[in-house]
A and B are shown apart, each in its own frame.
Chain A
Amino acid sequence: EPEVTQTPSHQVTQMGQEVILRCVPISNHLYFYWYRQILGQKVEFLVSFYNNEISEKSEIFDDQFSVERPDGSNFTLKIRSTKLEDSAMYFCASSGQGGSGEKLFFGSGTQLSVL
């Protein structure tokens, strides 16, 4: 089965630094997502992306966050100035269709540690 690929698997950064988390969605998928999971808490929706623009974002996704699809394969999440509370596991996901009942394919996650 095709997979969503995320790199790096673990990122350590200093507070205030910029980080870019990278994802390669499944090649023929059109809908892309970022979710995150703070240790011990639930998986939370951050943002959805379609047709080169954000379709929906949560209140977590403030001005410090941005997403981009710089080429035909990568989908990135940038945090401009990281805070301690940004430490979490970040999951990228994609789906072929946009319907609410569609299956999401998740990447294995990037563990972000902000020191």
Chain B
Amino acid sequence: AQRVTQPEKLLSVFKGAPVELKCNYSYSGSPELFWYVQYSRQRLQLLLRHISRESIKGFTADLNKGETSFHLKKPFAQEEDSAMYYCALSRWDTGFQKLVFGTGTRLLVSP
């Protein structure tokens, strides 16, 4: 069975500090990994996905198959990064987006 683990419920940092939101997954096949973000009172929205290897709003995430991790990183946090972050996994062999989500990490960036 697929499982996504986000060990931290809350991560509190000061503006300008580096940020790393941890995500580990459990899946025997080749997963598709995503980070979704939910800003206060807004909808879930895709932040980035590992297949596109892009950097969005300064965030990056590298899929480490050896450690089964997909940690989200940003070198210098901004106050507007404060939000709920969800790591999610999708099986490559299904044609449909059955995402398995982690429990989420709330990032709080203080001035």
Interface status of B44 (Cβ within 8 A of chain A): yes
Chain A interface residues toward B at CB < 8 A: 3-4, 31, 33, 35, 41-45, 48, 50, 55-56, 58, 91, 93, 95, 98-104, 106-109
Judge whether A55 and B96 touch: CB under 8 Å: yes
Q: Which of B44, B95, B101 contacts A100 (CB 8 A)?
A: B95
CA separation between A48 and B42, bound complex, in Å?
Answer: 23
Bound: A44/B88 CA distance, A: 10
A53 to B: closest C-beta gap in Å:
12
How many chain-B residues does the 8 Å CB contact rule pick out? 26
Are the CB atoms of A48 and B97 closer together than 8 Å?
Answer: yes
> Which of B15-23, B45-53, B75-83 lies on the face that meets chain A?
B45-53
B92's nearest neighbour on chain A, judged by CB, is A100
For window 91-107 of chain B, which residues contact chain A by CB distance below 8 Å?
Answer: 91-104
**Total of A-B residue pairs, C-beta within 8 Å:** 69
B100 — nearest CB in chain A belongs to which residue? A45
Q: Interface residues, chain B, CB within 8 Å of chain A?
A: 32, 36, 42-46, 49, 51, 86, 88, 90-104
**Residues on the A chain within 8 Å of B101, using CB:** 42-44
Closest-CB distance, A21 to chain B (whole angstroms): 15
Once the chains are docked, how many angstroms separate the CA of A35 from the CA of B90?
Answer: 14
A41-B97 in contact (CB<8A)? no
- The answer to whether A56 and B94 have CB atoms under 8 Å apart is yes
Q: Which of A43, A91, A107 has the most CB of B within 10 A?
A: A43
Assess the B32–A45 pair: CB atoms within 8 A.
no
- Contact partners of B42 in chain A: CB under 8 A: 108
> Nearest Cβ in chain A — how far from B59, in angstroms?
16
